[in-house]
Amino acid sequence: MNKSLRWKFVFIMFLLIVLLMTVVCVFLIRGVQRFYTNEFFDQMTSTFNDKILASALREAAAAQEDSVGSLLGVLEALKGQLGIDTGTRNFYILEGATGRFLAGSVEDGSGLEITPNLLKAIVTGGNVLTGNAYASYMDVAVPLKGADGAVRYIIYIRDNKQTVQNLTRELVTLIIQAVVVGLVISAALSYILSKTLLAPIIGMTKAAEAIADGDFSRELAVESDDEIGILAATFNNMARQLKVTLEEIKKSEALRREFVANVSHELRTPLTSIRSYAETLTDYQDIPRDTEIDFLHVILNESDRMTKIVQDLLELSRFDAGNSKLVAEEFSLGQSVRDTHDAIALEAKKHGHTVTLESTDDLPTIVGDRARIEQVLINILTNAIKYTPDGGAISITGGQTDNKAWVRIKDNGIGIPAEDLPRVFDRFYRVDKARSRESGGTGLGLSIAREIITRHGGDILIESTPGEGTTVTVVLPVSGPAGKRQPGGEQWA
């Protein structure tokens, strides 16, 4: 590709030089010719219109004896003024009536022919001092009258343009030489220029090939701020974005695989236990009734667990697909906190926990999906109950900062190790799988909670110290998510 472009450059430069020089050549040659011809006719006009000279010629022509000799004498004397040069320009003294050669700067009258100008002078008897600038010769004819008033002689001057032709030839040779030198220089220059221009394109081609092979390490040097520089910068930008996108795709692909593996594992565990208990019940007829009932309870519990996992997954997939609509309404967040507190009070009591409710009166009325926000609060409270050894202390506080409402649930339970903290919102992530399973956890609760709070334009934060306890804070915008400020049952994805 680059090679052909390079040669295109050279070819264009060649063509330009040749065209330019041809135009220059044509103009120059025509200019020189025009100048030379104008010069000739001007010279002739000024000479033959000179009064003194005209009378000298008239007198010589009218002389009774040897008038041709007298004319020859006058013209010989004028040679310099007329630019007579026997090789190129000659004068002829011709017979007035016939145009016959009588004498001239060349003795034999060679080079003489009857031209339109000469013919015109013979016929009209008047001076002919103009002619065609582009003819192959130039001539003027001046008739001279004798004493009887009839045209006796014609002074005819003819230039065969040899000088201008020689000059033109010289010019053409010079121009051809200039073209050759110009071509060599332009070929070299255009080659170098094309190399400079094409270097970044070649670099880009190589970088694009490298990217196609999965190597994103190549950064193009941006050496100028012209179009090529902008192209290189844009290319680098594109490569960076492509790299990020690919990494994200890889990451999400890895997450997807991990998620599928987790789902399969989570569903297989209860299924295995259901199957083994059911098999035992079918294989052995004489199982005591109590054991039978215990086994059936296990089967029921496991199937409940499966149902919970499937429900949670369904909910998450609805969020992912944007199909889970939240309904905006104006409600008292303080009331919701008190209701959730009441809802978990019995469970907390079972474990001997004390649950304190503080400053929830400070909580404002907010716009949001009430049921979903209560679902989040219940999830966090249930976690506090589950992951705090019996007899623990759980506190619920709330308040408003600027246009944000916050609810904080603090326990003095087992806590979460620092390395696990960033992952607790990941789907199926559980610090202590056995403990979570035992207490009916699916590892999906916090993932769902974060989805709900994020969709409200809020935030969910977790701080924890192993052995000391965990604090989860939910922050919500008072006026609901951006663009959904008006309550009234509006739905948003």
Provide φ and ψ at 266, rounded to 5°.
-60, -35
Q: Token pair of 335, please?
A: 């009331």
Q: Which is nearer to ligand ADP, 68 or 393 (CB)?
A: 393
Give min distance, CB of 292 to ligand ADP, in A.
30
Q: Which is nearer to ligand ADP, 294 or 320 (CB)?
A: 320
Long-range own/partner contacts, residues 414-423 (CB < 8 A, 24 or more apart): 414/387, 414/388, 414/389, 414/466, 414/467, 415/464, 415/465, 415/466, 415/467, 415/468, 415/469, 415/470, 416/462, 416/464, 416/466, 416/470, 417/466, 421/462, 421/464
Q: Return d(Cα 256, Cα 250) in angstroms, integer.
A: 10
Q: What phi-psi label fits residue 459: left (phi over 0), alpha (psi between -120 and 50 degrees) or beta?
A: beta
Q: Which is nearer to ligand ADP, 90 or 383 (CB)?
A: 383
Q: Which is nearer to ligand ADP, 90 or 340 (CB)?
A: 340
Contacts with ligand ADP by CB under 6 A lie at: 379, 383-384, 387, 411, 413-416, 424, 429-432, 436, 441-447, 470
What is the residue type of 253?
Answer: E
Q: Return d(Cα 187, Cα 18) in angstroms, integer.
A: 12
Q: Which is nearer to ligand ADP, 197 or 316 (CB)?
A: 316
Give min distance, CB of 378 to ligand ADP, in A.
11
Give min distance, CB of 244 to ligand ADP, in A.
29
Give min distance, CB of 456 to ligand ADP, in A.
18
Give min distance, CB of 462 to ligand ADP, in A.
7
Give min distance, CB of 287 to ligand ADP, in A.
33
**What residues have CB less than 8 Å from 462, skipping those under 6 apart?**
416, 421, 424, 425, 446, 470, 471, 472, 473
User: What DSSP letter does each residue of 326-355 carry, written as one string?
Assistant: EE-EEEEHHHHHHHHHHHHHHHHHHTT-EE
Q: Return d(Cα 263, Cα 306) in angstroms, integer.
A: 11
Give min distance, CB of 326 to ligand ADP, in A.
20
Q: Which is nearer to ligand ADP, 335 or 473 (CB)?
A: 473
Nearest to 100 by CA among 109, 91, 87: 109
Give min distance, CB of 449 to ligand ADP, in A.
7
Q: Return d(Cα 187, Cα 193) in angstroms, integer.
A: 10
Q: Which is nearer to ligand ADP, 152 or 305 (CB)?
A: 305
User: What DSSP letter does each residue of 391-409 carry, written as one string?
Assistant: S-EEEEEEEEETTEEEEEE
Q: Return d(Cα 124, Cα 139) in angstroms, integer.
A: 16
Minimal CB distance residue for ligand ADP: 441
Buried-state track 353-389, b at ≥16 Cβ within 10 A, e below 16: bebebeebeebbebbbbbebbbbbbbbbbbbbbbbbe
Q: Which is nearer to ligand ADP, 117 or 464 (CB)?
A: 464
Q: Which is nearer to ligand ADP, 28 or 316 (CB)?
A: 316
Q: Return d(Cα 373, Cα 480) in angstroms, integer.
A: 12
Q: Which is nearer to ligand ADP, 336 or 442 (CB)?
A: 442
What is the residue type of 224?
Answer: S
Give min distance, CB of 254 to ligand ADP, in A.
20
